[in-house]
């Protein structure tokens, strides 16, 4: 058996095309949705993520800007920036890219973002709304995964879902969303006993713990659907060959670049047992950006009392 890939790029493009149509309708009414991304310091991955978010906004007709702050910015300095963005009428979405430097009180910053402009869904009010299933802005990666599963026809009701990873950004909110879709959900983490055995109960297995290639076929029930949220850079040739030795295109790409991106799932091992799985890159990543665009337009409508 070889798993079928779930094409996150194609699904992300379809969502973005729908969002672009929504933007056009708003623009005809004189409303231009606006997104501001705040980037603190020189975190290389964060810079790439923010650049991609701003680029996607422009493609869709969303007004977008990037605020870059020095890594030495204080919590109160950052709070002032957030407050200014909260006040601005042309800003519908505010995104403070994580991680923030250690000396900044990240929780205080996320609490300061107006819940109406919180396109990441990280404000405690939106977290609470998600928890009780009330209307609100939801975190982009978890809703992106749900949307991907829905559009791929993966059933959730009554199924067993296992989420490995308990982060506030992915694991916890995703578990709640799956629960609301009537899956039976287990959240696992680094201290879970018999992890492979628990994972093997899953009809849907989600790897979101940030450990390159950790989920091998031992963790996967034959026929399960596997979603890989991890993104890790690997440059040791031996490990890359272990992950992608059966994939000439990926090996060639590694020879050219000197590194490969691998998720938390061991691709060569798991594709022999899973029925469907998401690739890295080109799986969950494009969905995160597509849902950020969708959240920005939603925030623009909600703030003006328009139908969402
Ligand atoms: N860092 C990693 N993922 C995310 C995300 O979805 N939003 C923000 N703001 N920062 C992140």
Residue nearest to ligand 1 atom 3, measured at CA:
98
For 136-170, the three-class secondary structure string (H helix, E strand, C coil) is CCCCHHHHHHHHHHHHCCCCCCCCEEEEECCCCCC
Q: Which residue is associated with the tokens 């910053």?
A: 109
Q: What is the pLDDT of residue 1?
A: 78
Residues of the chain with CATH 3.40.50.10860: 30-119
Rounded distance, CA 47 to CA 25, Å? 31
Name the pLDDT band for 307 (thresholds 50, 70, 90): confident
What percent of the chain stands above pLDDT 90?
99
**Residue from 22, 116, 118, 120 carrying the catalytic annotation:** 120
The helix (H) or strand (E) run that includes residue 123 is none
55 is catalytic: no
Q: Which residues line ligand 1 (CB under 6 A)?
A: 95-98, 120, 140-141, 169, 288
**Residue from 97, 203, 228, 301 carrying the catalytic annotation:** 97
Q: Which residue is associated with the tokens 């009809």?
A: 203
**Residue from 16, 22, 53, 264 carrying the catalytic annotation:** 53
Architecture label for domain 140-284: 3-Layer(aba) Sandwich (3.40)
Q: What is the pLDDT of residue 151?
A: 98
Q: What are the pLDDT digits (tens) for 114-144?
A: 999 999 999 999 999 999 999 999 999 999 9
Specify the pTM: 0.97
Q: What are the pLDDT digits (tens) for 166-214?
A: 999 999 999 999 999 999 999 999 999 999 999 999 999 999 999 999 9
Residues of the chain with CATH 3.40.50.720: 140-284
Q: What are the pLDDT digits (tens) for 53-107?
A: 999 999 999 999 999 999 999 999 999 999 999 999 999 999 999 999 999 999 9
Query: In sequence order, what are the beta bridge partners of 162?
Result: 186, 205
Fold of the 30-119 domain: Rossmann fold (3.40.50)
Name the pLDDT band for 267 (thresholds 50, 70, 90): very high
59 is catalytic: no
Q: What are the pLDDT digits (tens) for 226-264?
A: 999 999 999 999 999 999 999 999 999 999 999 999 999
Name the pLDDT band for 308 (thresholds 50, 70, 90): confident
Residue nearest to ligand 1 atom 9, measured at CA:
97
Q: Which residue is associated with the tokens 């790897």?
A: 207
Name the pLDDT band for 294 (thresholds 50, 70, 90): very high
């Amino acid at each position: 058996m070889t798993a079928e890939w779930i094409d996150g790029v194609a699904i992300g493009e379809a969502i973005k095309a729908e969002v672009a149509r929504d933007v056009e309708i708003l623009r005809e009414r004189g409303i231009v949705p606006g997104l501001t991304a705040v980037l603190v310091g020189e975190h290389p991955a964060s810079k790439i993520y923010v650049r991609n978010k701003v680029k996607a906004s422009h493609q869709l007709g969303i007004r977008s800007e990037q605020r870059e702050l020095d890594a030495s910015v204080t919590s109160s300095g950052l709070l002032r920036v957030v407050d200014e963005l909260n006040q601005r009428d042309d800003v519908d979405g505010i995104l403070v890219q994580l991680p923030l430097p250690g000396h900044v009180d990240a929780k205080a910053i996320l609490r300061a973002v107006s819940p109406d402009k919180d396109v990441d869904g990280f404000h405690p009010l939106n977290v609470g709304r998600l928890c009780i299933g009330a209307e609100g802005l939801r975190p982009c990666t978890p809703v992106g995964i749900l949307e991907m599963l829905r559009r791929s026809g993966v059933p959730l009701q009554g199924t067993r879902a296992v989420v490995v990873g308990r982060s506030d950004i992915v694991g916890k909110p995703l578990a709640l969303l799956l629960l609301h879709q009537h899956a039976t959900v287990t959240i696992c983490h680094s201290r879970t006993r018999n992890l492979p055995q628990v994972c093997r109960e899953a009809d849907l297995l989600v790897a979101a713990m940030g450990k390159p290639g950790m989920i091998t076929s031992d963790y996967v029930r034959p026929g399960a659907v596997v979603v890989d949220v991890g993104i890790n850079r690997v440059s040791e040739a031996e490990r890359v060959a272990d992950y992608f030795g059966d994939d000439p295109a990926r090996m060639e790409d590694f020879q050219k670049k000197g590194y490969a991106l691998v998720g938390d799932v061991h691709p060569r091992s798991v594709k022999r047992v899973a029925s469907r799985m998401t690739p890295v890159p080109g799986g969950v990543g494009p969905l995160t950006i597509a849902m950020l665009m969708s959240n920005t337009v939603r925030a623009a409508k909600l703030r003006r009392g328009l139908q969402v």
